[in-house]
Amino acid sequence: MNRIYNTFYHERLFTLREANKIIKNYQVCKNTISRLQKKGLIKRVRSGLYYIIPIDDPQFYPDPIHVATKLRENGVMSCNSSFTVLKCLAREKTIYLSATHSAKMRVKDITFRLLKQKHLLGTLETTYSTTYATIPIKVSDLEKTIIDCLWNRTMQIEQLITVLKYAKTINHTINPSRMLSYLEKIKKPILYHKTGFVLDTVKEYFGISEDDLEAFHKKLSSKKFYFKEKGLRLTRPRYMYIKRWKVMIPEQRYIALFPKATE
């Protein structure tokens, strides 16, 4: 059997660059991949990215999280997808990856969003289990994941709080000092307001002290910031003001977060 097929059979997914390390001559490598495609032994995900068709599973398709790890060599799973890798959230149809260049692509029914970040902070090296292999993967830590979700607005605030509460039940922790260090490098004033509010909301779950919260409060600007809704709205939503953190939250989000306060 062909060297490329044998080498990548267990991992199932490979790039042209990885295959070129097996067959050193670039043109010969490309020709070999073309022959394997014609024989139905491999298929193309997108340009430069291929997957093995296992002998016993002709309908095989690789895990989208695994596909994302091959899109950029320096990519780091982030936002909602980081929560997926950290086992706090089911996989969604949009996969998020932090990288040095932004891009958006669609493969089958999955959208891959590559988010440009100047500083790839808080990166963990861990493993991710698919149905066919356990692969090494880079993922943002919980603190950076929270920041990324808030900055990119990849989930509604009440969903983020729900995910964090679940994260605590599977023994994840939050280090406020680490989060502050990230924010000092990112230099986005709005994120001090938003992360302070989030930490205040989950403080009882994670044992976050008033001293921790005060460290964020000291960083607040004189402005007030909005948890804005994504997408177009026919009418402007009504907002509720959280005075301590100088943030405005859509009324329906506030009710979802604090139902007792609105009874």
Residue ranges in the chain whose pLDDT is less than 50: none
Q: What is the pLDDT of residue 232?
A: 58
Pairwise CA distance, residues 183 & 187, whole Å: 6
What residue type is 174 in one-letter code? Answer: I
pTM to 2 decimal places: 0.92
User: Over the stretch 201-251, which tens digit does the pLDDT of each residue have?
Assistant: 999 999 999 999 999 999 999 999 999 877 656 677 899 999 999 999 999
User: Over the stretch 101-126, which tens digit does the pLDDT of each residue have?
Assistant: 899 999 989 999 999 987 788 999 99
Q: What is the pLDDT of residue 263?
A: 53
